[in-house]
């Protein structure tokens, strides 16, 4: 099965290292053991991810103790973790890191602890902004020179488990990013029952919560970048899920017999698996292209500016295709397995739950296609 592409030997080695790690720590038994765990992840495994793989600081610059890697490496990590549904704070911490880097005001204070695995981040409010809604949280400057947040974000990945929440809030000068530590006075997290059993989500309420400003209120460029990269991150995880669904479906089709033949010899099953492969390769092309554009956008000069302008569209293409392809792959996985695919004992339902959850995160396919259409048509 396709092992994914890599533009450099270092990226190929990184992927192989991740494969070895997930094979050891991302087994079905390990994942299922965490389904009812209140924390939703294994702190010991997270510590290994920080110390052995350096995942929390993957995209953090070396000046803050990170690896200084780019979007291409982040996509590899997200794909490999998504292929085994390994519960961890990696996605939410990555999204928070993207926001902190884009905001630019609090990098030196926040990122060293993130790199060391001591600070788990969550990003609140950006998903609502990605679907065109107004910010659900407002910020007001206090008499003491600080800021206070008021409002409610209905759904935040790892909102109750993160040690620091990055909040997109509205100000008189436009949206800005704020940092709120867990346990801050006025911050109330309420755990939610979710479709995806491998992730934890919470509703966060803010009642005059003191917060640290992490971006300039008048700065406009950081939020579109955060929206785009968040969509890309979810699409990269979906890519891993699609790959694993295809592996499981084809593996079962080669073993299961019916009417004296393996079911994989029947044309209908062949076509189902072939369609999954097409979805996998198209999703990979879209995701890796978006990652390439994201890395080019960090370059200085006109080439970087052109890539930055193209980034939202590239990420929307990747998210729109991955959303649909992920659902198709998970559905086909269940169909190929027949009655077995509907049982709790088989992992097909876990990928089915993840696919439908990823479909909605940071905009579904319809929302991203609408954004693409609006960008192509332009203002009237």
| 236 — pLDDT class (breaks 50, 70, 90) | very high
pTM of the model: 0.95
| Mean pLDDT, rounded, for 147-159 | 96
CA distance 48 to 55: 9
78, pLDDT greater than 60: yes
1, pLDDT greater than 50: no
Q: Which residue has the higher pLDDT, 264 or 218?
A: 264
CA distance 268 to 222: 48
Residues 6 or more apart whose CB falls under 8 angstroms from that of 143 comprise none
- Give me the pLDDT at residue 210, please: 95
With 0-12 / 13-18 / 19 or more C-beta atoms within 10 angstroms meaning exposed / middle / buried, residue 250 is buried
Phi and psi for 152 in degrees, rounded to 5?
A: -145, 135
4, pLDDT greater than 90: no
Residue range 101-137, pLDDT digits in tens: 999 999 999 999 999 999 999 999 998 755 556 679 9
- Give me the pLDDT at residue 6, please: 64
- Give me the pLDDT at residue 98, please: 98
Numbered ranges of CATH 1.10.540.10 in the chain: 9-115
With 0-12 / 13-18 / 19 or more C-beta atoms within 10 angstroms meaning exposed / middle / buried, residue 81 is buried
With 0-12 / 13-18 / 19 or more C-beta atoms within 10 angstroms meaning exposed / middle / buried, residue 36 is exposed
173: number of Cβ within 10 Å:
11
- Give me the pLDDT at residue 12, please: 96
| 380 — pLDDT class (breaks 50, 70, 90) | low
Superfamily of domain 9-115: Acyl-CoA dehydrogenase/oxidase, N-terminal domain (1.10.540.10)
Residues 6 or more apart whose CB falls under 8 angstroms from that of 331 comprise 352, 355
- Give me the pLDDT at residue 341, please: 93
CA distance 371 to 380: 15
Residue range 165-208, pLDDT digits in tens: 999 999 988 899 999 999 999 999 999 999 999 999 999 999 99
* C-alpha 172, offset from chain centre: 30
258: number of Cβ within 10 Å:
11
Phi and psi for 44 in degrees, rounded to 5?
A: -65, -40
CA distance 292 to 315: 10
Using DSSP, state whether 177 is helix, strand or coil.
strand
CA distance 233 to 361: 10
Q: Could you give the percent of the chain with pLDDT greater than 70? A: 96
CA distance 368 to 316: 5
**222-377 — its CATH code?**
1.20.140.10
- Give me the pLDDT at residue 132, please: 58
379, pLDDT greater than 70: no
Which DSSP letter does residue 8 get? S
Numbered ranges of CATH 2.40.110.10 in the chain: 121-213
CA distance 297 to 292: 9
11, pLDDT greater than 50: yes
CA distance 337 to 333: 6
Of the candidates 33, 140, 11, the residue with the CA atom closest to the CA atom of residue 87? 33
| Mean pLDDT, rounded, for 57-63 | 97
Numbered ranges of CATH 1.20.140.10 in the chain: 222-377
CA distance 102 to 18: 27
With 0-12 / 13-18 / 19 or more C-beta atoms within 10 angstroms meaning exposed / middle / buried, residue 92 is buried
90, pLDDT greater than 70: yes
Using DSSP, state whether 229 is helix, strand or coil.
helix
Contact between residue 64 and residue 221 where contact means Cβ atoms under 8 Å apart: no
Site of tokens 């259409």:
373
Q: What residue spans of the chain are helical by DSSP H?
A: 9-25, 28-33, 43-48, 71-84, 90-103, 107-115, 126-130, 222-255, 267-297, 302-337, 348-360, 365-377
| Mean pLDDT, rounded, for 70-76 | 98
Say which CATH topology domain 121-213 has: Butyryl-CoA Dehydrogenase, subunit A; domain 2 (2.40.110)
CA distance 17 to 240: 16
- Give me the pLDDT at residue 142, please: 72
- Give me the pLDDT at residue 338, please: 94
Residue range 206-220, pLDDT digits in tens: 999 999 999 998 887
């Amino acid at each position: 099965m396709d092992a994914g592409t890599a533009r450099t030997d270092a990226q190929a080695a990184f992927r192989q290292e991740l494969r070895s790690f997930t094979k050891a720590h991302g087994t079905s038994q390990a994942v299922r053991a965490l389904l009812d765990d209140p924390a939703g992840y294994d702190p010991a495994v997270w510590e290994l991810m920080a110390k052995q793989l350096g995942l929390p600081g993957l995209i953090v610059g070396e000046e803050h103790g990170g690896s200084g890697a780019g979007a291409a490496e982040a996509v590899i990590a997200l794909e490999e973790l998504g292929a085994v549904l390994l519960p961890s704070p990696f996605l939410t911490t990555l999204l928070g890191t993207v926001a902190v880097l884009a905001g630019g005001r609090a990098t030196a204070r926040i990122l060293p602890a993130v790199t060391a695995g001591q600070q788990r981040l969550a990003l609140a409010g950006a998903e609502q902004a990605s679907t065109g809604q107004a910010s659900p949280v407002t910020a007001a400057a206090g008499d003491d020179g600080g800021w206070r947040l008021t409002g409610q974000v209905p759904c935040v990945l790892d909102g109750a488990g993160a040690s620091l929440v990055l909040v997109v809030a509205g100000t008189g000068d436009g949206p800005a990013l704020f940092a709120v530590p867990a346990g801050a006075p006025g911050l109330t997290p309420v755990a939610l029952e979710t479709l995806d059993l491998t992730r934890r989500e919470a509703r966060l309420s803010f009642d005059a919560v003191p917060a640290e400003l992490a971006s300039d209120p008048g700065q406009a460029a950081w939020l579109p970048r955060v929206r785009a990269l968040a969509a890309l991150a979810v699409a990269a995880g979906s890519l891993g899920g699609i790959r694993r669904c295809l592996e499981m479906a084809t593996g079962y089709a080669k073993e299961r017999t019916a009417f004296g033949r393996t079911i994989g010899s029947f044309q209908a099953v062949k076509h189902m698996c072939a369609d999954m492969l097409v979805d996998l390769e198209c999703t990979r092309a879209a995701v890796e292209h978006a990652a390439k554009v994201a890395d080019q956008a960090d370059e200085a000069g006109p080439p970087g500016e052109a890539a930055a302008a193209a980034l939202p569209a590239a990420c929307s293409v990747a998210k729109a295709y991955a959303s649909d392809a992920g659902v198709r792959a998970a559905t086909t996985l269940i169909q190929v397995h027949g009655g077995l695919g509907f049982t709790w004992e088989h992992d097909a339902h876990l990928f089915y739950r993840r696919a439908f959850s990823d479909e909605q995160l940071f905009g579904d396919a319809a929302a991203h296609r609408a954004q693409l259409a609006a960008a192509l048509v332009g203002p009237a």
